[in-house]
A = this chain, B = another copy of it.
Amino acid sequence: LRQSREAAAETRERIIKVAARQFRKHGIGGISVADVMAKAGLTHGGFYKHFRSKDELAAEACRRALAAARDELATAAMAAPKGRGLEAILDIYLSMNHRDHPERGCIIAALAGETARLGPPTREAVAEGIEALAALIASQVDAGREISRLQRARGILSTMVGALTLARNVSDREAADAALRSARAAALSWR
């Protein structure tokens, strides 16, 4: 049954949103096209009316997830008291909530190993997302030091992504919390 153009566009959005979430939760290889479609309330056959391949969906989902992450962090940084933007970003990114819910979190920490092995469209989407995040952090970093703001921002972003990765891979909850706290202190000292 044909849907209106508007309804079809909404469906496409819904598929991307579901995919972004499920990919982060199970890995791109860990969830099937049929599963994504079912979670979006559809049957699998219609998938190819919206995307040329699963890879194309992966690229789109990465793009979407990264833009959402940037927006969330940017909003938090704006809302923070002057000079406290980085704290606001770190409070969200290095939170236990973020560690425990990869499906709603940063796709770099959740899928970076996998995306590095995927095709150019996905890689480009991730690369652009990383640059955007680095730029956001650079805007929250003190000016006028010997090392450029963007360079320091890259170091901070590395620490953020790595800390979340480690926190999700240590079994001991204590050690995971420690990893997040240590990274927070490290990132702030580098501001």
A interface list, Cβ under 8 A from B: 26-27, 29-30, 102, 108-117, 120, 123-124, 126-127, 130-131, 147, 150-152, 154-163, 165-166, 168-172, 175, 178-179, 181-183, 185-186, 189-190
Contacts and interface: CB of A to CB of B under 8 A. Distances in A.
A160 B172 CA distance: 21
A111 to B, nearest CB: 5
Contacts of A115: 169
The oligomer's copy count stands at 2
Contact of A178 (B111, B151, B189): B151
A126 to B, nearest CB: 5
6 contacts: A27-B29, A27-B117, A102-B116, A127-B175, A157-B162, A157-B166
A106 to B, nearest CB: 11
Contact of A169 (B123, B147, B163, B166): B123
Contacts of A108: 165-166, 169
A49 to B, nearest CB: 28
Contacts of A147: 182, 185
Contacts of A157: 162, 166
Contact of A160 (B152, B162, B182, B190): B162
B117 A152 contact: no
Given A127-B170, A127-B172, A186-B190, A158 B163 contact: yes
Given A112-B168, A158-B182, A159-B159, 8 more contacts: A27-B113, A111-B113, A114-B114, A127-B172, A151-B185, A159-B186, A161-B165, A162-B165
Contacts of A112: 112-113, 165-166, 168-169
